[in-house]
Amino acid sequence: MSITADQTDAAPQPTSAPAIRDGAFGHATGLVCRECGATQDIGPHYVCTDCFGPLEIQYDFPAVTREQIESGPANIWRYKALLPVPDDIETSPNLEPGFTRLLRADNLARELGLETLWVKDDSTNPTNSFKDRVVACALSAAREFGSKVFACPSTGNLANAVAAAGARAGIKTVVFIPSNLETPKKVNSAVYTENLVAVDGTYDDVNKLASEIAGEEDGWAFVNVNVRPFYAEGSKTLGYEIAEQLGWRLPDQVVIPVASGSQLTKVHKAFRELVKLGLVEDKPVRIFGAQATGCSPVSEAFREGWDVVRPQRPDTIAKSLAIGNPADGIYVLDICRDTGGAVADISDDEVREAIVLLARTEGIFTETAGGTTIGVLKKLVETGQLDTSLETVVINTGHGLKTLDAVSDLVGPAATIAPTYDAFVAAGIA
């Protein structure tokens, strides 16, 4: 793993934290480095003290049955035995996200030439994006660590989710966003918190600032910085739900948007955990990543055959995917290559067209991240990289009301007429 320029020559020391109550993190047993395998005790840590590698949660899972999961609540806490959360998580005020619909998309499948297509529609979460899942897990960790401030750097959806979850939990929230973010996402955050901070710069600039604040301020839980290992586990619930909603089986192919890359890696992790636990039968699952051309460092690396991801300066309407230096980019490359998938990108115009395509075939209004994923799905079919005979799932991560500007010039009234039947006939709509 390469070390970025803003990392120091010594790994950050663990932050002091109050004593952790028994069962606070469920069946999690510690933190493990994804690079060198070194372990650490559970705490608000995210970087290996030995090699600077990223940390993730280590578990000792109990025996879990399908019946136990199915008897749980209709949200992500039905999978609490597989997450770093306490057994009493339902008693803590939270947004109760998850268990969103999996829709069979026959109209879109016919349009693209696919035999079987499903849309996992996460736009129906409480703040209308999949970020409510990861934030719920991060909030649980922040509570257990005794954090006094709940915070994040964000490209928009995460800021919405953190601000709303913090309000629900009664904890102070501070969210940082690039100042050029779409207006609906700014409003969606500011309505939940008075502490919305706009930063002149890219998301990567905002993320660097958040890392500096996390290192200086005691008691701040930055969901995707110093509690990132716990936050990231929330994305696994997408994979769990897809398998359960398909009747406890894995799909053949999945197309997933790539920003930091964490969602893709955790969906893959979820599938492997379900196999290990005997909840689904093992089978090959081809995993594909989707990026917008204006910020496509992982797609570029895949296309060029590189083993490293070279940072890019974002320039795309798909702002929720505009992370030029994705933390999990190299792991996305590994997974897509190992599973026989790919990472591809499309232009902003193709993103816009795909938003309209999904809306007019399946009645789902997606934001630019979803437009990117649908557009890449279309491209993968056209280039022959995706097998049209196999069952495919595409993930829609957010609602189109958040990015109205992206399609406002493409759609509108078919005609403006006088309030008469003759004018209606003359318009040629009948």
Q: CB–CB of 135/162 below 8 Å?
A: yes
For residues 80-98, give the mean pLDDT. Answer: 97
What pLDDT does residue 15 have? 45
The larger pLDDT score, comparing residue 278 to residue 10, is at 278
* Adjacent-strand bridge partners of 329: none
What pLDDT does residue 19 have? 81
Tens of pLDDT, residue by residue over 140-179, are: 999 999 999 999 999 999 999 999 999 999 999 999 999 9
pLDDT at 328 over 60: yes
Q: Which of 373, 116, 376, 378 is nearest to 249 (CA)?
A: 116
Q: CB–CB of 223/134 below 8 Å?
A: yes
What pLDDT does residue 11 have? 41
For residues 403-407, give the mean pLDDT. Answer: 95
| Confidence grade of residue 293 (pLDDT, cut at 50, 70, 90) | very high
Tokens of 412: 């509108």
Tens of pLDDT, residue by residue over 335-374, are: 999 999 999 999 999 999 999 999 999 999 999 999 999 9
What pLDDT does residue 7 have? 34
Q: Name the average pLDDT for the chain.
A: 94
pLDDT at 13 over 80: no
In whole angstroms, what is the distance from residue 129 CA to residue 137 CA? 15
Q: In what order do the strands lie in the sheet with 343-346?
A: 102-104, 116-121, 391-396, 253-257, 286-292, 343-346
In a 10 Å sphere around its CB, with 0-12 CB exposed, 13-18 middle and 19+ buried, how is residue 250 labelled? buried
| Confidence grade of residue 211 (pLDDT, cut at 50, 70, 90) | very high
Question: pTM value?
Answer: 0.93
What pLDDT does residue 205 have? 95
Q: CB–CB of 189/175 below 8 Å?
A: yes
Tens of pLDDT, residue by residue over 18-65, are: 688 999 999 999 999 999 999 999 999 999 999 999 999 999 999 999
Q: What would you report as the CA-atom Rg of the chain, rounded to the nearest whole angstrom?
A: 21
Q: How many CA atoms lie within 13 A of 225 on its CB side?
A: 25
| Confidence grade of residue 245 (pLDDT, cut at 50, 70, 90) | very high
Q: In what order do the strands lie in the sheet with 220-222?
A: 196-199, 172-178, 149-153, 220-222
What pLDDT does residue 257 have? 98
For residues 290-313, give the mean pLDDT. Answer: 98
